Amino acid sequence: MSDELDALAGDLAEFDVPDKPVKRSKIEERVIAGFEDIQRFYEREGRRPRHGENRDIFERLYAVRLEQLASNPEYRAILDPMDKHKLLDQADDSADTSAYTDLDSLADDLAELDDPGGDLSQLKHVRTSAEKRAAEEIANREICKDFDKFKSIFQNVQSDLETGLRMTRPPETSAEIEAGRFYILSGQKAYVAEKGEAFRQDYGDWDARLRVVFDNGTESNLLMRSLHRAMSKDPTSRTISDPVAGPLFSDSSIEGDEASGIVYVLRSKSEIPAVAENRDILHKIGVTGGSVERRIANASQYPTFLMAEVEIVSTYELYNINRTKLENLLHRVFDRARLNVEIKDRFGKSVTPKEWFLVPLPVIDEAIERIKDGSIAGMVYDPNTAQLT
């Protein structure tokens, strides 16, 4: 009897209507594909994606995407059956994602997941293909293997911004981008380290390939037009100006000028070995608004003067100038030659003076002259050649 039933079931099976595959909308397919990326990340790394500035940009993108998916009931209904690692239950939807929404790479991706309570069949704020390519180029960064040679450049730029030697202004997105320029994009400083040969795009505009290094140690090889578009889409983007020194001071005043202070160069009489061995080239460079003689009175009582008497080597009177700005500029130029010595003050506390530099006097004179005519912009002292470069 059972054999007959089995045969009958086999005959009837021929007339079964096969299950129709579930037809998905394009947005549902994107949601599933995006979730599969997150699952692959979990299987590769053994953990769910997390937020954090020290995380890879794609991990941060996956973390935001996972929270968006987990918080949307309609997306959950689609994804729950395939959530084999229970990632949607682990998503931290209380995390603050506002810090990431200004990143083109994240904003571009999240546009597809916009409006958690809306219609799955609608996409909102989706960018054009050209804009997407620009965002992808910015996001597609690599580790900058020779970042060591750029690190001090970024530090100097930050110092220039703090002292007012450089300024930030809204970007001129139609202006030509040249090698050596600095920008702020998505909250990071961007340095155009190299610019390739110009060429015409298919649509007729001139373009060029750039090597852009970012202050977080990454770099991107992108087109000039892509950088323009990325800056125009980022409301916080800025152009960082070149250093502007100008004729900061002169040796004599003209009618109407008011004396603002004096640049002074001192030499120490200390017998500390590091000082005595380099006495001819070791100088303290400072700026004062009063008498230099009064400034150095009782020098032997203060660690800033190395707890020793000093002699005045040279002075330069200045007019109508911000003294702090000028002093910071001089110290930045000679930073690589700064003396690193620790001494005890009169209370026995260890102190490291900051205004002493191993620089020959003629180079200091040259720096002063270059500040007068504005040619000091971008220059620093190279201890190996004993020259401004």
- Residue 318 DSSP one-character state: E
H/E run at residue 37: helix 26-45
Determine the average pLDDT of the residues in 197-219: 85
Tell me what the pLDDT averaged over the chain comes to.
78
Residue 128 pLDDT > 80: no
pLDDT band at 335 (very low <50, low <70, confident <90, very high): very high
Burial class of residue 293, CB neighbours in 10 A (0-12, 13-18, 19+): exposed
Residue 253 pLDDT > 80: no
The whole-angstrom separation of Cα 167 and Cα 157 is 10
Residue 80 pLDDT > 60: yes
Give residue-wise pLDDT tens across range 136-177: 455 567 889 999 999 989 988 888 777 666 778 888 766 678
The residue among 387 and 117 whose pLDDT is bigger is 387
pLDDT of residue 139: 52
Tokens of 41: 């990340």
Nearest to 262 by CA among 305, 282, 291: 291
- CA 224 to chain centroid, in Å, comes to 18
Residue 106 pLDDT > 70: no
Burial track 133-152 (b if 16+ CB lie within 10 A, e otherwise): bbbebbbebeebeebeebee
pLDDT band at 115 (very low <50, low <70, confident <90, very high): very low
The whole-angstrom separation of Cα 355 and Cα 337 is 10
Helices (H) and strands (E) counted in the chain, each on its own, are 13, 17
Confirm whether pTM is higher than 0.75: no
Tokens of 69: 């998916």
Measured in degrees and rounded to the nearest 5, phi and psi for residue 386 equal 55, 40
The whole-angstrom separation of Cα 294 and Cα 299 is 10
Give residue-wise pLDDT tens across range 169-202: 888 766 678 888 999 988 889 999 999 888 887 7
Determine the average pLDDT of the residues in 59-67: 84
204: left (phi over 0), alpha (psi -120 to 50) or beta: left
Is 279 in a helix, a strand, or coil?
A: coil
Tokens of 116: 């958690």
What residues contact residue 180 under an 8 Å CB cut-off, 6+ apart? 192
Torsion of CA 108, 109, 115, 120, to 10 degrees: 120
Is 35 in a helix, a strand, or coil?
A: helix
pLDDT of residue 177: 85
pLDDT of residue 109: 46
The residue among 130 and 350 whose pLDDT is bigger is 350
What residues contact residue 208 under an 8 Å CB cut-off, 6+ apart? 177, 195, 196, 197, 198, 199, 223, 224
Burial track 162-173 (b if 16+ CB lie within 10 A, e otherwise): ebebbeeeebeb
- Residue 315 DSSP one-character state: E
What count of other Cβ atoms lies within 10 Å of the Cβ of residue 215?
Answer: 21
